[in-house]
Structure 1
Amino acid sequence: MSIPAETRTPPGPIDDRAGLPALGPEGTALLRLLDETFESWGVSAGARVMTLPPLLPTADLARLDYYDNFPHQAVVVAPLDLERRESAPFCCETGCFPCDALQPAALGLPSASCYGVYLHHQGQTVPSDTLVTVVGWCFRKEERYEHLRRQLGFRMREIVALGSKEHAQRHLETFGEKITAFAEALDLPLRKEAACDPFYDRGGSKALMQRLAPVKYEFLFGDLAISSVNTHRNFFGDRCSITLADTGGPVFTSCVAFGLERWLSALTQRHGGWEAAAEAVARARSVL
């Protein structure tokens, strides 16, 4: 049954508290400038530019242990079950469809852009020095949302290495240095810290392994991680059957990630507004 027009909620801005803020012209221009900067770093290093789907099959993500490793971030998508829609209608009070009105959720919203890269290359043989760069919408369920800092939906630029162990490690070293140099040119104080996934038992074997041989470093502005460098060893190469052209063994992978809205938050906080932040980025680009 349709909702009478006089009782419908009038249209208005998307609720920032729900983790879905909008950007005006100044913010949009700065986000594009940052993304063009990070993309150019990848292209200059030989990365292929790709566009990947915003949704991925949950079966594929489950095969990558995504729902075991990141259950607290997971967001899935389900279409309406049209046969049950009348018996389980949309609830105006909660603003939700009940579970009974939905078909099984077979699609997931990824929390990072790189998952699509590995799934795209599954079953393929690649050169030992392969690089790919993508930007995509990513989604994370958070305990709370903060404007530009923590969002349900945000954009992430990634530069991904697939190939030899040496190639994957060199990738992180090269782009870690680029992030540091860019931050210095921006007068943006960042600190680099080893990170441990929060859902691991701090006394467990996975947490111990990460402390002994960190797989992730974050670049933080205050308490906010705006970039990270991540090594996955040969995990994705093995799970996705991506092999090296010269050895036939599984590829090693690593990725460098830039949370674009988080960079906006850090830059505007540091420089005081959109215009000053954009000028700082333009200056930094001119000297690097």
Structure 2
Amino acid sequence: MTAMTTATTTTTAPGTTGLPSLGPEGTALLRLLDDTFESWGVQAGARSMTMPPLLPAADLARLDYYDNFPHQAVVAAPLNLDVRETSEFCPDTGCFPCDALEPAALGLPSASCYAVYIDHQGRPAADDELVTVVGWCFRKEDHYEGLRRQLGFRMREIVAIGTREHAEQHLATFTRRINAFAEALDLPLSREAACDPFFDKGSSKAVLQRLTPVKHEFLYEDLAIASVNTHRNFFGDRCEIPLASGGGPAFTSCVAFGLERWLSALTRRHGSWGAATAAVLRANAAGPAI
């Protein structure tokens, strides 16, 4: 059934900052979901890893991040203490002026998987590597809306690195897993092709992407809560990740879950934190193996 959600969040300026908080029930459900998705990866053979919350902007630039996603990019910089007396925080605007900051050399990534590719830079990969991570992600948006659209949110990813066949099979396996889980949750999802510009817009790879989409999203109503993404050998090439068995740069793919968006979808569908949590527990108990 579909019901009006009774789930609540709190934030200083509702709908404007994109930084809502979660109470105990929402926090418990988020942890349950993350444990669920992490267990899927571990069952498939993934290594659980912890990645840094920020990345060198130079590394993200090398991956064309600021060319492909400039509208989402958020960067960080320390205060310039040399000008502190003449350039201070302004209470009226709620901001530090630009000249109060040192150069912004740190990037806040919009997806968890970037750190995985950077971490694997220069190291030969096996044909069938899997890694799972959860991380804080950041996206500048033209507007924010509760748990549906946030400036800062958590994303669990299961990343494949290896041969083309391994990367493709990874997405096929987890597409089935997501569909089965959604059915057990009584959460009707639609699967739609989307476009992430991982490749130079004028390149032959970009033309191929238009013919064969590299990203499919799983939507509840109009909200994308999960995606499966293939990058071919783009990150393997840019991060110099060779296959240990030979044959050129590794291929990569990833499965991504926006945790707060799952909270939004589940509470909208089931009506309350308690009902949503019970639905996840039932689905886990009856869940199929990969």
TM-score (norm 1): 0.92
* 1:244 is aligned to 2:256: no
SS in 1 for 2:82: coil
Match of 2:99 in 1: 100
Contact 1:14/1:22 (CA < 8 Å) preserved in 2? Answer: no
Match of 1:168 in 2: 167
Task: Give the CA deviation at 1:203.
Answer: 11
Match of 1:79 in 2: 78
Task: Give the CA deviation at 1:144.
Answer: 0.2
Match of 1:19 in 2: 18
Greater relative contact order: 1 or 2 (C-alpha under 8 angstroms, separation 6 or more)?
A: 2
Task: Give the CA deviation at 1:106.
Answer: 0.2
Alignment of 1:83-232 (within 5 A): 83-197=82-196, 208-232=207-231
CA distance in structure 1 between the aligned counterparts of 2:251 and 2:197, rounded to whole angstroms: 24
> What is the letter of the counterpart of residue 192 of structure 1?
R
Identity %: 74
RMSD between aligned residues = 2.0
Distance change >3 Å, CA 203–CA 191, structure 1 → 2: farther
CA distance in structure 2 between the aligned counterparts of 1:146 and 1:13, rounded to whole angstroms: 11
CA distance in structure 2 between the aligned counterparts of 1:207 and 1:147, rounded to whole angstroms: 34
CA distance in structure 2 between the aligned counterparts of 1:256 and 1:199, rounded to whole angstroms: 16
TM-score (norm 2): 0.92
> What is the letter of the counterpart of residue 100 of structure 1?
D
> What is the letter of the counterpart of residue 103 of structure 2?
P
Task: Give the CA deviation at 1:242.
Answer: 0.5
CA distance in structure 2 between the aligned counterparts of 1:199 and 1:262, rounded to whole angstroms: 23
Listed as ranges, the gaps of 5+ residues in structure 1 are: 1-11
SS in 1 for 2:180: helix
Match of 2:262 in 1: 263
Contact 1:125/1:243 (CA < 8 Å) preserved in 2? Answer: yes
Match of 1:29 in 2: 28
Listed as ranges, the gaps of 5+ residues in structure 2 are: 1-9
CA distance in structure 1 between the aligned counterparts of 2:216 and 2:67, rounded to whole angstroms: 21
Task: Give the CA deviation at 1:211.
Answer: 3.0
CA distance in structure 1 between the aligned counterparts of 2:222 and 2:245, rounded to whole angstroms: 43
Distance change >3 Å, CA 149–CA 67, structure 1 → 2: same
Task: Give the CA deviation at 1:204.
Answer: 9.8
Distance change >3 Å, CA 198–CA 169, structure 1 → 2: closer
Alignment coverage as a number of residue pairs: 277
